[in-house]
Amino acid sequence: MSNIIQQKNFRVQERLVDSDKVVFVFTGMLTKIWQYKPFIKRLNKAGYSVIIYDYPSRIVHDANINEWYQLIESLMKDVQNRIINLKEMNAKHFYAYGYSMGTIIAQKLTQITTEITHVILNLPYGDLAKNIWTSPRTRRARKSLKKQGITMEQLRQKVTDLDPIVNAKGLRDKKVLLHQSRRDRILYYPITKETKLAFEKAKVDMFYDENKFLGHLSGGAKNMLSVKKIRTFYDS
């Protein structure tokens, strides 16, 4: 594995192989790059170069919305610059992969990046503000938002540009693999299922995969290890 590079508000690692296919991976909340080592190895073995990002837990817990947007902007710029460099190295096919919180970034990146044609959203958010307000994983962020005097409705207005449902139409000219789990106890299924409905309404070219038995962590891990399904999708 190549060294992890520390940037101002994120970390990034490249694992390049002799291939013209590149996957940009965005990790879930409070998870670190090293935890994705088996996933990266499988993607490499399947013929994909991988560039993976993680982010300090402080950014999530402090719930500074301006800092959230600064993080997104920094990530988008980093990816765009890497795509330019990778093209010079004869890379031709670019894909995105997001897990949990990382799906927000993966969806945003795919919407604004012409080169990225396929995105996998592994257990995405639904109504972003409602998920933040109800998930056990975002308790500290929720507490911080309340201290700032921000209500759930105010948060919804502030994060409109990142909400997967509001921005479903932005994926119309892309291909999407959407994973969801009925027993998700971190991003509750009654909320996240609205993302699937929004994609259908927007007529997104979507492949849908729903697990009826596993939760957020186990279901997400299973999806990441299903490299045959990932390869079939990216090569479609």
Say if CB 209 and CB 177 are below 8 A apart.
yes
- What's residue 2's pLDDT? 81
pLDDT score recorded for residue 1: 60
The C-alpha atoms of residue 217 and residue 222 are separated, in whole angstroms, by 9
Distance separating alpha carbons of residues 180 and 193, to the nearest angstrom: 8
Check if the beta carbon of residue 129 is closer than 8 Å to that of residue 152: yes
Q: Considering the entire predicted model, what is its pTM?
A: 0.97
pLDDT digits (tens, 9 = 90+) for 152-161: 999 999 999 9
In this predicted structure, what is the pLDDT of residue 9? 92
Specify the amino acid at residue 142: R
The architecture (CATH level 2) of 5-234 comes to 3-Layer(aba) Sandwich (3.40)
So what's the pLDDT on residue 199?
98
Low-confidence ranges of the chain (pLDDT < 70): 1
Segments making up each domain of the chain, as ranges: 5-234
Q: Do 103 and 123 contact (CB within 8 A), yes or no? A: yes
User: Vertex 77, ends 75 and 81: CA angle to 5°?
Assistant: 120
